Structure 1
Amino acid sequence: MANRQMDRFTPVFAIAAASELAEMHPQTLRQYDRIGLVVPQRTSGNTRRYSLYDVHRLREVARLSAEGLSLEGIRRVLKLEDRVRELEGQVHELERALSDELLKRPDRRVFAAGAGGEVVTLRRGTRTRRNAEVVVWKP
């Protein structure tokens, strides 16, 4: 077997161990699997294997249930949290790509404020001309 790296998504816990870690009855885990709330991976022999992430989700389900949410409400909350994580990952990826692209360009644009307060585009390495006029204000 290849030397695999383990992470929080690696399915390692049988249902008995996962139920103990999540502080739930094994039948509850089977029910959540049946309704699609927390679906563990399966071995070639079709036995459930839970990951640390699955155990975390089971604890989250228990917490939300204790707060009075129905199983359908919990499913929606978990789905929305997954979507938020997915979108945050996309935002970080886009920010990184934008940053890399801006750093690659030698002709990056520089902006400054003009005399009237407008935005002025400058060539890299140049400065705006400063106005040395004195304006006297009389009320």
Structure 2
Amino acid sequence: MAEPRPGTARGLYTISVAARMAGVAPPSLRSYEERGLVAPARTEGGTRMYSNDDIARLRRVVELAAQGVNLAGIGRILELEEENTRLRDGPPGNG
């Protein structure tokens, strides 16, 4: 995955807040996590904490799902988008 911007990868939002921000129900977020589409941080007590990066990724998942892409396809698209970003940006230190 691309290098996160400072402060964007830290878990800030509980599942209910993240669900509202992404426009989906909390069970959908749990399903996305089970399928590896998002990996929120966890507190010591096990509470999911979603970062700004996670919210952006969830919004992309929602966008692709609205276009009729199934969850397996969404996972592959996200992988390819991340690979494309890595290739475009090149190795660290070349900027």
The answer to whether TM tops 0.5 is yes
- Asked whether 1:87 is paired with 2:91, we answer no
One-letter amino acid matched to 1:83: E
Moved runs in structure 1, 4+ residues, more than 3 A? 91-94
Larger Rg: 1
Cα displacement (A) at 1:58: 0.7
Q: 1:22 is matched with which residue?
A: 22
Structure number having the greater strand percentage: 1
Cα displacement (A) at 1:92: 7.0
Q: 1:113 is matched with which residue?
A: none
* 1:29-56 Cα deviation digits (max 9, x unpaired): 0111111111111111111000011111
Percent of aligned positions that are identical: 38
One-letter amino acid matched to 1:7: G
Q: Which runs of 5 or more residues in structure 2 are unaligned?
A: 1-5
Cα displacement (A) at 1:85: 1.5
One-letter amino acid matched to 2:88: E
Cα displacement (A) at 1:91: 5.1
TM score, norm. by length of structure 2: 0.86
Q: 1:44 is matched with which residue?
A: 44
Cα displacement (A) at 1:88: 2.3
Structure scoring higher RCO (CA < 8 A, sep ≥ 6) equals 2
Q: Which runs of 5 or more residues in structure 1 are unaligned?
A: 1-5, 97-139
Structure number having the greater helix percentage: 2
Q: 2:58 is matched with which residue?
A: 58
- Asked whether 1:34 is paired with 2:18, we answer no
